[in-house]
Structure formats: structure tokens, C-alpha cells
Amino acid sequence: MAAAADQIEIEVHLPEGGTWAGMVEDVREGLSCPFKEIPPKYFYDERGSALFEAITELPEYYPTRAERAILDAEAVEIVAAARPTTLIELGSGAAAKTRCLLEAMSAAGTLETYVPVDISEEITRRVADELVGEYDDLRVHGVICDYETHLERVPREEGALIAFLGGTIGNFRPGPRRSFLARIATLMYPGDRFLLGTDLVKGQGVLEAAYNDSAGITAEFNRNVLSVLNRELEADFEPEQFEHVAFWDADNEWIDIRLRSLTEQFSDVTALDMRVHFSRNEEMRTEVSTKFTRERLESSYADAGLELTDWWTDPEELYALSLARPVA
């Protein structure tokens, strides 16, 4: 067995400014629009990440449990269908759910390389050290980047299963989603497969409860983005003056998540040299979370040059994992 240090390679492709690079432009544009918006990627500072982990444990929030249940039940079948030697995971984090796939690949005797792609170098290095201790001869080739911006920096290793879990694809609007999936398709060799986690369309009550939990943790998570802007952009938003709003938009088939100003107010954003006005009850969008049907996903795949080959759901059909291949 090679020494662990020889099994790990970590590439760092963060621009100057690191995790928050691009925030100035993104926030200036979003706050200048007639209908204000803040990109959801700025939720995830240390506190935001901890709040989201708490959300995944809430009784109302089913997606994480449902996805994990599918992986627990179907990992062997997924690996048999994809036949990968390399697992590439976009937004890998602590690789908690992915270990089902790594274990199934190891049991099948095909596990050679794991490619975690994440914005956090600290977490990626920790996971790499853990995994090479768990799997003999496993090679970990980590890539530290914003996968939306630097997707093409991901190593193209033939025989790969590219995993994008957690339902994150739902945060993309239709145009960017089509573009992102098309970029995935261009990375893939003919024998590669793409594994995607998607939340499914279901009753309005179940959907809205998942984003309006009785403990108020989702509301705190939503308001925390204002604390991030205060710290990173020298702003003076008052989070307690904003109300969490989340509702099902049936026309777009997404949950629309917003912050509503409880009063008329002004906020200064020093780093942008900008004063922002909010009318009473004015809403600012912080996220959308699209839900899918199988037909809608098949159409999205087709538009991007991919073809759905396999489909798995939990027993209640709340959530789905799908496997797709590039169309020749």
C-alpha cells in the first residue's frame, strides 16, 4: 500500500478573494434589480452551514433523508449500472452520503479514484485523509473550486460516475440549468454516467412545510445571508427587520424563498458604496428550489445532450436519483 501522502492530490483553483470572490458584483447586480435578489451560494458561511445541517434533521425536511434512503437501498444497483472506476462528486462537502457509493464500488472491486470538488479546502483535505485510511490504494484527487464557474477544471478521467446530489440542481433557473447540464455532458466520455439528485413535485402542504419548519430554523438560515453581507460587504442590514417567506409556485414548479421587509427601511452597503431602499412588505428573493417530474427531467437532459437511463425513488416517491449518459 502506498503512503497516504502519495495517494492524495489537491488542486486549488480559487480566485483572489477565495470563497467570497465575485460577491461584490453578484450583490451589486442583485440589489440593483427592480425585484431584488441575493444568490443562494452566499448562505453558506460557518453559521449558515451549521443551520443547514440542522435543517436536514428536521421532521418536516424530507429531501436529505429520502436521498440517503435511496443510496442505502440502491448503491449496489447504481454502481452496477454505471460501472465506474472513478467517482467525481460536485459539492462533495464531508462526503457523508457518497460513502454508500464508494463502499459499493469497493465491494465490486472497481474503486480506484475519488474526485471531490468543493469550495472548502479544509473539509476536502480532511475527507481525503479519512478515505485513504479506509480504502487501500484509493487515490483522492481533490479540486477546490466553485464548480459552477470552474467545472472544466475537473479532471476528465474515463470510466467516471459524476455525482451531483442534494437536489442542488433545483437552485438553478431553467437557462443556467440547461447550460450547466450541457457542460456536464461535454466533460463525459461515452462510457461515463451522471448521477443526479432531484426533489419531486408533490402536494403543496408537504412542500411548503419543508421550507417553513415549526422550529424556525429555516427562517434563521434565510436571514443569515444578511449577516454574511454585513460582515463581508460592511453593510448594516437588520436581519430581525426581515420576515422569512417560502411558498409553492405551481406555474414554475418551484419553492420561492424570500425575505420580506417588515418596515420601510434603508441599508448602507459600504463596500458597494450603495444605499438600498426597502418599502414596507417589499420582498427580496434569496433562493428558488425547483421540483421535478420524471418527464421534466428527461426533457432537461435531452436539451443538454444527455439521456436518462435509470431512475430510483424512495418508497413514498418524494425524491429521485437518476442516471444519465451522454448522447453520441
Q: What angle do CA 4, 8, 14 make, to 5 degrees?
A: 145
Please determine, for residue 54, whether its predicted confidence score (pLDDT) is greater than 50.
yes
Domain with CATH 3.40.50.150 in the chain: 62-200+292-326
Homologous superfamily of domain range 62-200+292-326: Vaccinia Virus protein VP39 (3.40.50.150)
Q: What is the mean pLDDT of the chain?
A: 94
| Alpha-carbon span 19 to 23, nearest angstrom | 9
Our measurement of the distance from residue 184's CA atom to the centroid of its chain's CA atoms, rounded to an integer in Å, reads 15
* Tens of pLDDT, residues 72-121: 999 999 999 999 999 999 999 888 888 999 999 999 999 999 999 998 88
pLDDT of residue 17: 65
Higher-confidence position of 158 and 295:
295
- Give the pLDDT mean for 285-289: 98
Least confident of 91-100, 108-117, 163-172, 210-219: 91-100
Work out the percent of the chain whose per-residue pLDDT is above 70.
98
pLDDT of residue 119: 87
SS3 155: coil
pLDDT of residue 149: 85
Please determine, for residue 7, whether its predicted confidence score (pLDDT) is greater than 50.
yes
Q: What's the whole-model pTM score? A: 0.94
pLDDT of residue 1: 45
Nearest-Å Rg of the Cα atoms of the chain is 20
- Give the pLDDT mean for 317-327: 98
- Give the pLDDT mean for 131-145: 94
Other CB atoms within 10 Å distance of the CB of residue 327: 12
